Structures are given as C-alpha cells and as structure tokens.
C-alpha cells in the first residue's frame, strides 16, 4: 500500500493534469476539482477495490461523483490509476471525446453512473447500495457530494432512505469547501451543521481535514468498520487547493485559466507547460 507521502505526489500530478485539461478545453471547474482531489486520490489509490484492466469487474467497489462538475478531478484520477492515458486529459470537453463536461458512464471507463444534475448522484448511490444489499453483494458504494449540493432536497430524502435500510455498505463524503458558484454556501442557503444533520438522520458521522492524506486514510479505515448504518465523512477542504490565486475564490468555481495563469499555476503545483 502506498504511503500518505506517495499519495500526496499522485494528488499533485492529478491536479496538474486536471488543470491542463481545463485549459485545453477553455472551460471547466477547477475550484471544486482541486478541493476534492485528495479525497479521490485516497479512495482510488488507498481504499477502493477496483481494477483498471477490468473496469466492470464483479465485486468492485463503486464511486459516484454526485458533484459531477468536478469531472476533471475524477478523470485525472482514473487516468493516473490506469483506466486510460493521462494525455487524454487534453481532449477534455472536446467534440467526440469520451471526457465530457460531466461524467458519462457510457463513454468513460471507470465512471459508474452519469452525473451532473446536483443531488441525483447521491440518490442513485443509495439505490445502488440497496440493490447490493438485496443481491447480497459484498462491496462498497462511495458517493462524493458538494456542500452547496446539500441544498437539494433529494439529498435528504435519500439520506433518510439509506438510514432506514441500514446501508453500512454506503459511505458518503461531503466536500466541504464552503463556496459555491454564487458565493459562501451558508450565505446562499444555510446547510450547516452538516455533521449534526446527518447524525440526526441516522448516519454515523466523521469529520476530517480533506487535505490531510493520512487523516483521510485513517478516517476511511474507521468508516469501513461501521456496521448497521451508512457513514458520512465531512471533509473540510479549500476550493482551488494548491493554486494561490484560486484558493477560497468563488470566481474559480467554473472558469479556465489563460496561458499566463496556467503557467503560474503549474509552477506552484510543480508541473510544466
């Protein structure tokens, strides 16, 4: 198993390739992609049972990126995990590419379900976990949601359903970067305290620094041991993490860097043009 230090280096490379893809596309969502990168890295390289050579392997763990606009982070993670060549990131959002603006399960290897309409991925993940319980399949479903996405009512209906059926094969991660396209999350529509709300809905809840790789690994290890109820991990993150002029800036929710900004960002991340 890779160390936290090794996973941090992989996360750095994932951010670099996600940014290169967004720049090549001239559009995309760097802010939320960078806040969730460490979470996806921990999952795909340290937690989940997947096989890039056999994306449809029976018994594999499954991840649903409910905040589908963070697709660049998911694509770059899948690429570095071996599902496809990282150079494909330069085709992001291009006509005919299998790397569209939101994940497409029919085009991109490793994508378990198409997402983009906020809240629906979370609901689908609950359904997938219920199906696995009925079919007596021993695997996990992981779902990553954004904090602004929690303003969708469908999230809470699904959360109630997950608790009702004791879905201990379901682990949700909230990417809590405190910003959405219109500004500060609780200013747009207050959703805090998220941990207390999920606990009240019958979930086991953990809080973690979403950029502390070892803490993430340790928290997932605890989550995997929970029995009889679904788990929610509230991960405190920084929107635009890793690039100084993007960090904590709502304006970088959905905007591509120009050539000069790309050069500065790659320098900060340790990459090259």
Which tens digit of pLDDT belongs to each residue from 212-256? 999 999 999 999 999 999 999 999 999 999 999 999 999 999 999
Task: Report pLDDT digits (tens) over 108-142.
Answer: 999 999 999 999 999 999 999 999 999 999 999 99
Asked if residues 41 and 17 have their Cβ atoms less than 8 Å apart, the reply is no
Q: What is the pLDDT of residue 174?
A: 98
Query: In Å, how far from its chain's centre is CA 41?
Result: 9
Contacts of 11 (CB under 8 A, 6+ apart): 37, 38, 41, 213
Q: What is the pLDDT of residue 130?
A: 98
Query: Which portions of the chain are predicted below pLDDT 50?
Result: none
The encoded tokens of residue 212 equal 């502390």
Q: What is the pLDDT of residue 273?
A: 57
Q: Name the CATH superfamily for 4-269.
A: Thiamin diphosphate (ThDP)-binding fold, Pyr/PP domains (3.40.50.970)
Q: How many residues does the chain have?
A: 273
* Backbone torsion region of residue 178, taken as left when φ is above 0, otherwise alpha when ψ lies between -120 and 50, otherwise beta: left
Asked if residues 170 and 126 have their Cβ atoms less than 8 Å apart, the reply is yes
Pseudo-torsion of CA 178, 180, 184, 190, nearest 10°? -80
Query: Any idea where the domains of the chain sit in the sequence?
Result: 4-269
Apex 135 CA angle, 131 and 137, nearest 5: 95
Q: What is the pLDDT of residue 125?
A: 98
CA-CA distance, 56 to 82, in Å (whole number)?
Answer: 14
């Amino acid at each position: 198993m890779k160390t936290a230090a090794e996973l941090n280096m992989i996360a750095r490379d994932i951010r670099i390739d996600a940014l290169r893809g967004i720049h090549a596309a001239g559009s995309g969502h760097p802010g939320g992609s960078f806040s969730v990168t460490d979470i996806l890295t921990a999952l795909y390289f340290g937690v989940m049972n997947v096989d890039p050579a056999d994306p449809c392997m029976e018994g594999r763990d499954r991840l649903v990126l409910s905040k589908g606009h963070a697709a660049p982070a998911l694509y770059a993670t899948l690429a570095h995990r071996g599902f496809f060549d990282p150079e494909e990131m330069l085709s992001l959002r291009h006509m005919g590419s299998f790397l569209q603006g939101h994940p497409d399960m029919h085009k991109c290897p490793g994508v378990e379900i198409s997402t983009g309409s906020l809240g629906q991925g979370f609901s689908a993940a609950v359904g997938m976990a219920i199906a696995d319980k009925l079919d007596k399949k021993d695997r996990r479903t992981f779902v990553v949601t954004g904090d602004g996405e929690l303003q969708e009512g469908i999230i809470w209906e699904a959360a109630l359903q997950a608790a009702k059926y004791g879905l201990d094969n379901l682990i949700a991660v909230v990417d809590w970067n405190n910003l959405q396209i219109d500004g500060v999350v609780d200013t747009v529509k207050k959703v805090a305290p998220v941990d207390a709300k999920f606990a009240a809905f019958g979930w086991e809840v953990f809080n973690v620094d979403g950029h502390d790789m070892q803490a993430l690994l340790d928290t997932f290890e605890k989550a995997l041991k929970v029995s009889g109820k679904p788990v929610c991990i509230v991960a405190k993150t920084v929107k635009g993490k890793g690039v100084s002029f993007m960090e904590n800036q709502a304006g970088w929710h959905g905007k591509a860097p120009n050539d000069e900004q790309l050069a500065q960002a790659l320098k900060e991340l340790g990459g090259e043009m």
